[in-house]
Amino acid sequence: MTKKKKRLKNHRRNEITKGIFTVLERNNTQSFNYKQIASKLGITDTEGRNILIKRLGELTAKKRIQQQQRGKYQAISKGNYVEGVVQITGRGNAYVITDAMDEDIFVPVNRLNRAFNRDKVEVYIFPKTRSNKIEGEVKRIIERKKSSFVGVLDMQKKTAFVRPSDPKMYTDIFIPREHRGKAKDGDKVLVEIYRWNEDEDSPMGSITEVLGKPGEHHTEIHAILAEYGLPAAFPFEVERYAKELDTQILEKEIRKRRDMRDVLTFTIDPKDAKDFDDALSFKVLEGNTYEIGIHIADVSHYVQPDTILEEEAFERATSIYLVDRVVPMLPEVLSNQACSLRPHEEKYTFSAIFHLDQNARVIKEWYGKTVINSDERFAYEEAQHIIETSKPEIPAEISI
What residues form DSSP beta bridges with 187?
none
pLDDT number for residue 124? 86
- Answer whether 340's CB lies under 8 Å from 331's CB: no
Looking at residue 238, its pLDDT comes to 95
Q: In the CATH scheme, what architecture does the domain 78-143 have?
A: Beta Barrel (2.40)
Q: What is the mean pLDDT of residues 74-92?
A: 83
Per-residue pLDDT averaged across 150-175, rounded? 94
| 3-75: CATH topology | Arc Repressor Mutant, subunit A (1.10.10)
Is residue 283 pLDDT above 70, yes or no? yes
CATH number for 148-227: choose from 2.60.40.10, 3.30.870.10, 1.10.1240.10, 2.40.50.700. Answer: 2.40.50.700
* pLDDT tens per residue across span 95-152: 999 988 888 999 999 899 999 999 999 998 887 665 677 888 998 999 999 999 999 9
pLDDT tens-digit map of 311-345: 999 988 888 888 778 888 999 999 989 999 999 99
| Secondary structure E strands in 40-187 | 65-69, 72-75, 81-88, 94-97, 105-107, 120-125, 136-143, 148-155, 160-164, 173-174
36 HSE (CA, 13 A, CB side): 11
Whether the pLDDT of residue 242 is over 70: the answer is yes
User: What is the average pLDDT value for the chain, to the nearest integer?
Assistant: 90
Residue 260 · residue 298 · CB < 8 Å: no
Here the contacts of 24-29 (C-beta below 8 Å, separation 24 or greater) are: 24/65, 24/73, 24/74, 24/75, 25/75, 27/75, 28/74, 28/75, 28/77, 29/127
Residue with the larger pLDDT of the pair 2 and 86: 86
269/271 Cα distance (integer angstroms): 6
Please provide the size of the chain in residues: 400
CATH 1.10.10 intervals, the chain: 3-75
Q: Which residues, 6 or more positions from 326, have their beta carbon under 8 angstroms from its beta carbon?
A: 274, 275, 319, 320
Q: According to DSSP H, which parts of the chain are helical?
A: 3-26, 34-41, 46-61, 217-227, 236-243, 251-254, 308-316, 332, 380-389
Every domain range in the chain assigned CATH 2.40.50.140: 78-143
The whole-number average pLDDT for the span 275-283 is 93
Which pLDDT score, from 0 to 100, does residue 129 have? Answer: 63
**What pTM does this model have?**
0.60
